[in-house]
């Protein structure tokens, strides 16, 4: 029986153009890390002992923290009376559009499942991770949590019961990302979205999403390129990112298949068909943000097929940004 476990869970790109609230994939270059230990004291419940990398933004109250709420959901469901100590290491920017809250929730439930020898399935863990994610975004959607937990390119249907499907995609496809140093809260980014969608826009969005999935499965880069278009969320959210147009222009000039906002932003991503081209695109996107006068972090990544993983040593964990 283990007394401590360390789990990393990857950042994710969600929406992916027309896949609003239903599509996403994890990255292999940046992750949040959770340390979960059995309490040495004869006590029950969760105590948050340490939080790093959050700039003092995250609460130590276990009823208000995403990671502890997700774990508590498991303890309540299975009536487990145990004392746990939690340390949270934030590597993914809060409000970055890279699934920071989802990664912490996934790492937390994955850690609890292993530490307590519960042998819960990913489908079962997903519901508990979502308990934490809902606390952050105020809505029930799995386009960050599901890909983070399952790995690969994922589509998720948030109806009851929730359904998750991993689909094939071109393994040579790479993702370039730039994270401007501005914060956009998911809950605020959702408030600016239209409450009703005109029929024509709905049909166009559905067609784009359908063709994107078909392009991924058939490894047709032209279809992928032509289908990564969001006709109702991105036009609204683009106004929250002052360097949006410059980043897209830089990406396309350097051969990107397409360029969109990740999640609620401000991170933007672009697909390409080789690692060499992806590196060039990443540098061009980052330079565009710098030229606008905004600091940023940038990443080049493949799609992560693993999802969360157990690690031995935080200090030697390699996943860092430029």
Q: Is residue 285 part of a domain?
A: yes
Q: Is residue 213 part of a domain?
A: yes
Whether 133 sits among the annotated catalytic residues: the reply is yes
115 and 134 share a domain?
yes
Residues 6 or more apart from 65 whose CB is under 8 A from it? Answer: 48, 58, 59, 88
Q: Is residue 318 part of a domain?
A: no
- With contact defined as beta carbons under 8 Å apart, do 248 and 223 qualify? no
Q: What is the pLDDT of residue 316?
A: 62
The mean predicted confidence, pLDDT, of the chain is: 92
Q: What is the pLDDT of residue 161?
A: 80
- Look at the chain and report how many structural domains it folds into: 2
118 and 236 share a domain?
no
Q: Is residue 40 part of a domain?
A: yes
Tell me the C-alpha distance between 286 and 280, whole Å.
Answer: 10
241 and 161 share a domain?
no
292 and 159 share a domain?
no
Q: Is residue 319 part of a domain?
A: no
- With contact defined as beta carbons under 8 Å apart, do 256 and 268 qualify? no
12 and 122 share a domain?
yes
In terms of Cβ atoms closer than 10 Å to its own Cβ (0-12, 13-18, 19+), residue 7 is: buried
147 and 244 share a domain?
no
Q: What is the pLDDT of residue 57?
A: 93
202 and 142 share a domain?
no
Q: Which structural domain, as residue segments, surrounds residue 16?
A: 4-168+304-310
Q: Is residue 316 part of a domain?
A: no
pLDDT tens-digit series, residues 85-105: 999 999 999 989 999 999 999
Strands 309-310 and 268-272: unpaired
* Residue range 273-290: mean pLDDT, rounded: 97
139 and 238 share a domain?
no
pLDDT tens-digit series, residues 230-271: 999 999 999 999 999 999 999 999 999 999 999 999 999 999
Q: Predicted confidence band at 208 (pLDDT cuts at 50, 70, 90)?
A: very high
Domain with residue 68: its CATH number is 3.30.230.10
Domain with residue 223: its CATH number is 3.30.70.890
Whether 267 sits among the annotated catalytic residues: the reply is no
61 and 116 share a domain?
yes
* Residue range 272-283: mean pLDDT, rounded: 97
pLDDT tens-digit series, residues 150-188: 999 999 987 668 899 999 999 999 999 999 999 887 777
* Residue range 27-36: mean pLDDT, rounded: 95
Q: Predicted confidence band at 321 (pLDDT cuts at 50, 70, 90)?
A: very low
Using the predicted structure, report yes or no on whether residue 136 has a pLDDT greater than 70.
no
Q: Is residue 25 part of a domain?
A: yes
Given the residues 186, 267, 282, 300, the one annotated as active site:
186
Q: What is the pLDDT of residue 318?
A: 54
156 and 199 share a domain?
no
118 and 229 share a domain?
no
Using the predicted structure, report yes or no on whether residue 64 has a pLDDT greater than 60.
yes
* Residue range 50-64: mean pLDDT, rounded: 95
Q: What predicted TM-score, i.e. pTM, was given to this entire model?
A: 0.93
* Residue range 30-54: mean pLDDT, rounded: 92
128 and 236 share a domain?
no
Q: What is the pLDDT of residue 139?
A: 59
Q: Is residue 79 part of a domain?
A: yes
Tell me the C-alpha distance between 100 and 22, whole Å.
Answer: 17
Using the predicted structure, report yes or no on whether residue 140 has a pLDDT greater than 70.
no
Given the residues 12, 35, 85, 133, the one annotated as active site:
133
Q: What is the pLDDT of residue 109?
A: 97
């Amino acid at each position: 029986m283990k007394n401590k476990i360390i789990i990393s869970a990857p950042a994710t790109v969600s929406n992916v153009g027309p896949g609003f609230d239903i599509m996403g994939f994890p990255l292999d270059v940046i992750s949040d890390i959770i340390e979960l230990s059995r309490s040495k004291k004869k006590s029950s419940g969760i105590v948050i002992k340490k939080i790093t990398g959050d700039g003092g933004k995250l609460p130590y109250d276990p009823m208000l923290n995403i990671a502890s709420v997700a774990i508590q959901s498991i303890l309540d469901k299975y009536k487990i009376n145990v004392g746990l100590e939690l340390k949270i290491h934030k590597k993914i920017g809060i409000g970055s559009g890279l699934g920071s809250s989802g990664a912490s929730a996934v790492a937390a439930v994955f850690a609890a499942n292993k530490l307590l020898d519960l042998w819960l399935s990913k489908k079962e863990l997903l519901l508990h991770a979502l308990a934490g994610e809902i606390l952050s975004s105020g809505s029930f959607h799995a386009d960050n949590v599901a890909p983070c937990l399952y790995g690969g390119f994922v589509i998720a249907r948030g109806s009851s019961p929730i359904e998750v499907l991993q689909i094939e995609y071109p393994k040579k496809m790479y993702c370039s990302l730039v994270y401007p140093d501005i914060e956009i809260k998911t809950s605020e980014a959702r408030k600016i979205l239209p409450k009703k969608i005109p029929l024509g826009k709905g049909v166009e969005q559905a067609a784009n999403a359908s063709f994107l999935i078909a392009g991924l499965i058939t490894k047709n880069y032209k279809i992928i390129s032509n289908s990564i278009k969001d006709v109702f969320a991105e036009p609204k959210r683009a106004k929250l990112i002052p360097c949006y147009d410059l980043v897209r222009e830089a990406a396309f000039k350097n051969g990107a298949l397409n360029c969109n906002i990740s999640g609620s932003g401000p991170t933007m991503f672009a697909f390409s068909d080789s690692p060499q081209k992806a590196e060039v695109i990443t540098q061009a996107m980052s330079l565009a943000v710098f030229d606008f006068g905004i600091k940023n972090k940038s990443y080049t990544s493949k799609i992560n097929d693993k999802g969360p993983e157990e690690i031995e040593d935080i200090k030697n964990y390699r996943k860092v940004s430029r």
